């Protein structure tokens, strides 16, 4: 159960494997086959806590993304307002299908903090296309943000709670594994954006 402060209570622990992957040169980015239909990727340039929370809950609801569910509006505002934090959204015929969130760190490092698709849009080749596009935007992030150091490294992590095709997608887009950890974490239920949101 998630408490009012976002903490977890009364949950058993399970082993969770976390894999960290990186690219160290822009040429590491490998393109994906484009999806069918009218799929466009657009940067969400106006920081919007409401929209970002919608994306976070809708994409991560069935794969146990819970760390930001307890964030206040102010916390979302502060995070999204940081220089260099970008949200790139894939739209299928005008409907949000998934997103990539980029966050600059020290010494020219950019993390792909969140990446994923709303469940109804998975399995349609949108994910590979969005990931390669997002990785390319991580590499040219400083072009859009004067004052940021040029990107020297792009990294992300995925874990055994993520979708079954996540790791394969990262490897196919040119990311290389550099660290693996296994830790005990609370076994939380997938919250979903609301109860019963996902087909059985």
**Extents of the domains making up the chain:** 13-186
Q: Contact at 8 Å (CB) between 91 and 42?
A: yes
Residue 64 vs residue 35, higher pLDDT: 35
Q: Token pair for residue 83?
A: 């220089």
**Coil, helix or strand for 26?**
helix
Is 110 a residue whose pLDDT tops 90? yes
pLDDT of residue 200: 45
Cα separation of 93 and 45, whole Å?
Answer: 19
pLDDT of residue 167: 85
Cα separation of 101 and 114, whole Å?
Answer: 5
Is 185 a residue whose pLDDT tops 90? no
pTM for this one? 0.87
**CATH, range 13-186:** 3.40.630.30
Residue 157 vs residue 6, higher pLDDT: 157
Query: Ramachandran region of residue 157, left (φ > 0), alpha (ψ -120 to 50) or beta?
Result: beta
pLDDT of residue 197: 60
């Amino acid at each position: 159960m998630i408490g009012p402060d976002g903490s977890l209570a009364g949950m058993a622990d399970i082993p969770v494997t976390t894999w960290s992957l990186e690219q160290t040169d822009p040429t590491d980015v490998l393109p994906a086959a484009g999806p069918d239909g009218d799929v466009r990727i657009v940067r969400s340039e106006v920081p919007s806590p409401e929209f970002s929370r919608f994306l976070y809950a809708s994409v991560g609801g069935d794969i146990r993304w819970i760390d930001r569910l307890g964030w206040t509006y102010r916390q979302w505002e502060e995070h999204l307002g940081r220089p260099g934090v970008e949200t790139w959204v894939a739209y299928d015929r005008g409907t949000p299908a998934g997103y990539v969130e980029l966050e600059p760190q020290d010494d020219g490092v950019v993390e792909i903090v969140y990446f994923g698709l709303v469940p109804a849009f998975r399995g349609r080749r949108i994910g590979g296309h969005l990931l390669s596009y997002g990785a390319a935007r991580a590499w040219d992030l400083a072009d859009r943000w004067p004052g940021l150091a040029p990107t020297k490294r792009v990294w992300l992590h995925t874990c055994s709670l993520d979708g079954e095709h996540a790791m394969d997608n990262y490897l196919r887009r040119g990311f290389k594994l550099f660290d693996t950890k296994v830790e005990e974490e609370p076994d939380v239920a997938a919250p979903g954006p609301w109860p019963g949101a996902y087909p059985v």
